[in-house]
C-alpha cells in the first residue's frame, strides 16, 4: 500500500514540490512572539514538570531549561499551530536528560532512593 501512495505522490511534481516546500521552510519567530508563548504556556509546562518531578525547585529548573531549549531551536518549529505540543515535547526531552544525568534535588533523591531503615 505504501508503494502505491509513494508512486502517486512521486508522480505528481506539484505535490512533491509542495511537500518539500512545507517541510523545509523554517519559520521566523520573533522574540515578541516567543515571549507571548512563555506567558501563555509557562503555567502548563510548570504544572507538567511539577507532576513529573514532585519538586517545585526541579519543576522550575526543568521549565526554564525547556524554554531555553525552545528559544534556541525555535526555527525548527514547522507549524505555528503545533507550538503547544512542540513545547511539551521539548519539556519531555529536558526531563529525560535531567533524569539520565541525575540532576535531582535532595527532596527527589530522598523520595525515590530506598530507605536504609526499611530494608
Res 105: pLDDT: 57
Res 102: pLDDT: 77
Question: What is the Cα–Cα distance from 66 to 44, expressed in whole angstroms?
Answer: 12
| Alpha helices in the chain, H assignment, sequence order | 2-11, 13-24, 31-53, 56-72, 83-101, 106-112
Res 5: pLDDT: 44
Burial 101-114 (b: 16+ CB within 10 A, else e): eeebbeebeeeeee
- What digits encode the pLDDT tens for the residues 85-95? 999 999 999 99
Domain residue spans in the chain?
A: 27-112
Q: Is the pLDDT of residue 43 over 80?
A: yes
Query: What's the CATH number for 27-112?
Result: 1.10.1740.10
State mean pLDDT over 14-42. Answer: 65
Amino acid at each position: 500500500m505504501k508503494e502505491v501512495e509513494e508512486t502517486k505522490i512521486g508522480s505528481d511534481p506539484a505535490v512533491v514540490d509542495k511537500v518539500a516546500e512545507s517541510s523545509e521552510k523554517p519559520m521566523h519567530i520573533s522574540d515578541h512572539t516567543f515571549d507571548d508563548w512563555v506567558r501563555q504556556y509557562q503555567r502548563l509546562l510548570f504544572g507538567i514538570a511539577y507532576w513529573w518531578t514532585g519538586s517545585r525547585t526541579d519543576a522550575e529548573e526543568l521549565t526554564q531549561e525547556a524554554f531555553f531549549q525552545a528559544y534556541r531551536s525555535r526555527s525548527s518549529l514547522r507549524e505555528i499551530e503545533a507550538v503547544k505540543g512542540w513545547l511539551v515535547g521539548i519539556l519531555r526531552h529536558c526531563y529525560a536528560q535531567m533524569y539520565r544525568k541525575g540532576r535531582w534535588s535532595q527532596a527527589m533523591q530522598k523520595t525515590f532512593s530506598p530507605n536504609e531503615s526499611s530494608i
